[in-house]
A and B are shown apart, each in its own frame.
Chain A
Amino acid sequence: MSGVTGVIALLLLLTLGIPIGVALGTVGLVGLVFLLGAEPALIKAGGVLFETASRYELGLLPLFLLMAHLCFAAGASRDFFDAAARLIGHRRGGLALASILGCAGFGSISGSSLATAATVGLVGLPEMRRRGYSDALATGAIAAGGTLGSIIPPSGALIVFGILAEQSIGKLFTAAIVPAITQTLFYLVTIVLVCRWRPSLGPALPRVGWRKRRAALLRVGDLVALVVLVLAGIGLGWFTPTEAAAIGVVGALALCARRRRLSRTVLLDALSDTLRTTGMLYVVIIGALIFAVFMSLTGLSDQIAAIMDTQSGNPTIAVVTMAVILLLLGSVLDGLALMLLTTPILLPIIHSLGLSPIWFGIFLVRTMEIGFIHPPIGINLYVIQEIAKDVPLSRIFKGVLPFLAADFLHLALLIAVPAVALALPAWLAT
């Protein structure tokens, strides 16, 4: 009963616009006071605060953020889009395909859906509209492509999940690679099909010569090398994720210097932006961990697991049920709030069903991503509308519909074939 009350109280506080970390922490702390008494609750909360703030593994969060800000200052978003546009812009829907690839490239640095949609949108949207692309296709492609930022490692969402669920962040990053690639492919195929159905939606541009293409590819060479070094280093066990993040920062600094973009202002701005985002995330994580302690004491997960077991006894049905619940909750909650609310409840159920928590992390981030582009929240849609103010929201939503269909198919694939996420980490571990 206390668990259900806690969840309802949390939903209420979140809806009222209380900061997410504060809402989680307040419900968790009040719940602990009721269950354990004031003194043990305060000691527990104080312990969580100090342990989280001094946790070595969490060091990768500010370091990856700093790397992203430095790469952004080095012009990564424009370079990724330009390279993809020159390579495939001459095909039908080529610029929309380039936007998806640009989002995938920039997502591998930014770790954020919103940042990816906003930055690639600033570059790609005006270009597509200037070239006569349909508003719906242009905005839909970038809104959907932006979600790749949440799953392509190093992903902020996966880091938060890893800390919350006490799972190896290195394994989570490795597990996300194949789902990220397949999701990108699903989006590309969607654009090809849409443009084959109605070619006027994405007209082909004149072909660019190989010299210009090679120049654009060479321009992103250093960015790609940095991303590959960081990810391969983690996957192959050369460094821990925190070490990889530090190497990433040094590499990003070198990259800025090589491109003559490194200045005092750039460095200070990157540090300043990093500190603010880091602070927000620490509050959220501390609140979520206090809430998780409370949830584990309520036994709510065990009760839900028992209900699922008696209702179906089939893990696949249980997972589909979870997906439906997550998608419904994603209609009213932001992605981060959704993850922080549901992880402490659903993770023990995943354990009891004998499923992999690493797979669950990928599944959760994937469902969270879908929430970024479906109404009424669909935050990426609003971000795109900020960039293209004259395009009505309804038109952006129409443009994102084919990508939503691709997302549902991809989620079904992830549920039906868990190896999509689990094969690579297992293979690298042998």
Chain B
Amino acid sequence: MDELTPDKAPPRPRGPLFYAGAAGLATATVVETIAVSGRWLSLPLHGALEIIQAAILVTACVSMLSATLAGTHASVQLLLNRLTPRRKRLLTRSGSLISAVFFAALTVASIWLTIGHWDGYEETELLHISLRPLRILCSISMLAIVVVFAYRTIKPRASER
């Protein structure tokens, strides 16, 4: 996408977070490829869609946190680029604060729904994959994003100071 305004050459994460996201992507690729090949060979892979959904959710949660850590969220720079460094710093910190509040609301919403569905024992139809751990992962990733944005509000990235 064209409107990205990432920091130049952000550090490339290679920790557990990266490997979890990469594993999600690899799983989705492999399962989908086996499913397509199986369909063409009349050997359908039942439940492939459910595995891919779970893998994609892991990738999505981890990648949102990765993007936050790397500071690569897309933003409109029209005004920011024309401000004095001091005002730009102020706006960037305000942006981090608003982001923290927004993700805090999403965290509350996610935890609320997780608790609401807890006794329902939600699971997928074919493979009976429990949705509980996925909902928990979603809530944890949102909470982690809140922490990152809250920290950035207090201590902005070096490139934003």
Which chain A residues have a beta carbon within 8 Å of chain B's beta carbons? 13-22, 25-26, 29, 42-43, 45-47, 49-50, 52-56, 58-59, 62-63, 66, 112-115, 149-150, 156-157, 160, 239, 242-243, 245-247, 249-250, 268-269, 271-272, 274-284, 286, 332-337, 372, 376-377, 379-380
Q: What distance in Å separates the Cβ of B66 from its nearest Cβ neighbour in chain A?
A: 5
Closest chain A residue to B49 by CB distance?
Answer: A56
Query: Is B25 touching A276 in the complex (CB atoms < 8 A)?
Result: no
The answer to whether B74 and A112 touch across the interface, beta carbons within 8 angstroms, is no
- A residues within 8 A CB of B134? 50, 54
* B154 interfacial by beta-carbon distance below 8 Å: no
Which residues of the other chain, B, contact A269 by a CB distance below 8 angstroms?
12
The 8 A CB mask of B31-69 against A (1 = contact, 0 = none) is: 011011000000000000100111111011111111110
Do A62 and B76 touch (CB < 8 A)? no
Chain B residues near A29 (CB, 8 Å)?
102, 105
Nearest 9 interchain pairs by C-beta: A279-B67, A46-B109, A246-B32, A279-B63, A334-B3, A19-B73, A114-B2, A336-B3, A53-B60
Selected from B18, B77, B95, B142, the residue in CB contact (under 8 A) with A271 is B18
Min C-beta distance of A375 to chain B, whole Å: 11
Is B75's beta carbon under 8 Å from chain A? yes
Asked whether, in the complex, the Cβ of A58 is within 8 Å of the Cβ of B56, the reply is yes
Chain A: minimal CB distance from B142 (Å): 7
B55 to chain A, nearest CB (A): 8
Ordered by A's residue number, 7 sampled pairs between the chains whose C-beta atoms are within 8 Å are: A22-B95, A43-B113, A46-B110, A50-B110, A278-B63, A279-B62, A279-B68
Are the C-beta atoms of B74 and A21 separated by less than 8 Å?
yes
Residues of A within 8 A of B126 (CB): none
Q: Which residues of A have CB within 8 Å of B1? A: 112, 114, 156-157, 160, 277, 280-281, 335-336
Residue from the set B6, B25, B101, B113 with the largest chain A CB neighbour count within 10 Å: B25
Inter-chain CA distance A418–B96, complex, in Å, is 43
Q: A26-B102, A49-B109, A377-B78 are in contact. Are A114 and B36 (CB under 8 A)?
A: no
In angstroms, how far is the closest chain A Cβ from the Cβ of B52? 6
* CB-contacts of B115-140 with A (<8 A): 134-135, 138
Given known pairs A16-B91, A54-B57, the reply for A284 and B66 (CB within 8 Å) is no
Interface SS of chain B: helix
Q: What's the tally of chain B residues with a CB closer than 8 Å to chain A?
A: 66
Residue from B54, B75, B80, B92 in contact with A54 in the complex, judged by beta carbons closer than 8 Å:
B54
Besides A63-B25, A275-B21, 11 other A-B contacts (C-beta < 8 A):
A17-B95, A18-B94, A20-B3, A26-B102, A49-B110, A55-B56, A63-B32, A112-B1, A275-B13, A276-B67, A277-B72
Name the A residues within 8 Å of B135 (CB-CB): 50
Which residue on A lies nearest to B37, using beta carbons? A247
Q: Which residues of A contact B110 (CB under 8 A)?
A: 46, 49-50
CA distance A14 to B95 in the complex (A): 10
Bound complex: CA A335 to CA B66 (Å): 23
Residue of B with least CB distance to A52: B60
Query: Given the complex of chains A and B, what is the CA–CA distance between A173 and B77 in angstroms?
Result: 30
Determine the distance from Cα of A380 to Cα of B1 in the docked complex, in whole angstroms. 12
Q: Determine whether the beta carbon of A276 is less than 8 Å from that of B10.
A: yes
Q: B28 contacts A246, CB within 8 Å?
A: yes
Bound form: Cα–Cα A13–B99 in Å: 11
Would you call B158 an interface residue if the criterion is a C-beta within 8 Å of the partner chain's C-beta atoms? no
With a cutoff of 8 Å between Cβ atoms, the chain B residues found around residue A268 in the complex are: 12, 14, 22
In whole angstroms, what is the CA distance A16 to B25 when docked? 34
- In the complex, the chain A residue whose C-beta lies closest to that of B74 is A20
Q: How distant is the Cα of A58 from the Cα of B21 in the complex, in angstroms?
A: 15
B13 A272 Cβ-Cβ under 8 A:
yes
Which residues does chain A contribute within 8 Å of B77, judged by CB atoms? 17
Q: How far is the CA of A46 from the CA of B64 in the complex (A)?
A: 15
With A280-B72, A280-B74 known as contacts, the answer to whether A242 contacts B63 (CB < 8 A) is: no
- List residues of chain B with CB within 8 A of the CB of A283: 64, 67, 73
Asked if A246 and B33 sit within 8 Å, CB to CB, the answer is: yes
Q: A150 to chain B: which residues have CB within 8 Å? A: 2
Find the A residue at minimum CB distance from B101: A26
Tell me whether A45 and B105 are in contact (CB under 8 A).
yes
Residues on A with beta carbons closer than 8 Å to the beta carbon of B12: 268-269, 272
Identify the closest chain B residue to A59 (Cβ).
Answer: B56
Are B25 and A66 within 8 A (Cβ)?
A: yes
B98, CB-defined interface residue at 8 Å: yes
- The answer to whether A276 and B2 touch across the interface, beta carbons within 8 angstroms, is no
Q: Residues of B contacting A21 with CB < 8 Å?
A: 73-74
Cα distance A395–B66 in the bound complex, in angstroms = 38
Distance between Cα atoms of A271 and B12 in the complex (Å): 10
Write out the residue numbers on chain A whose beta carbons fall within 8 Å of the beta carbon of B21: 271, 275
Q: Are B75 and A46 in contact (CB under 8 A)?
A: no
Known: A17-B79, A114-B2, A250-B29. A276 touches B99 (CB 8 A): no
In the assembled complex, B4 has its CB within 8 A of some CB on chain A: yes
In the bound complex, CA of A306 to CA of B3 (Å): 33
Min CB distance B97 to A, Å, is 10
**Taking the nearest CB of chain B, how far is it from the CB of A331, in angstroms?**
10
Which of A43, A268, A280 neighbours the largest number of chain B CB atoms within 10 Å of its CB? A280
Measured CB to CB, the nearest residue on chain B to A337 is B76
**Would you give the shortest CB distance from A404 to chain B, in whole angstroms?**
17
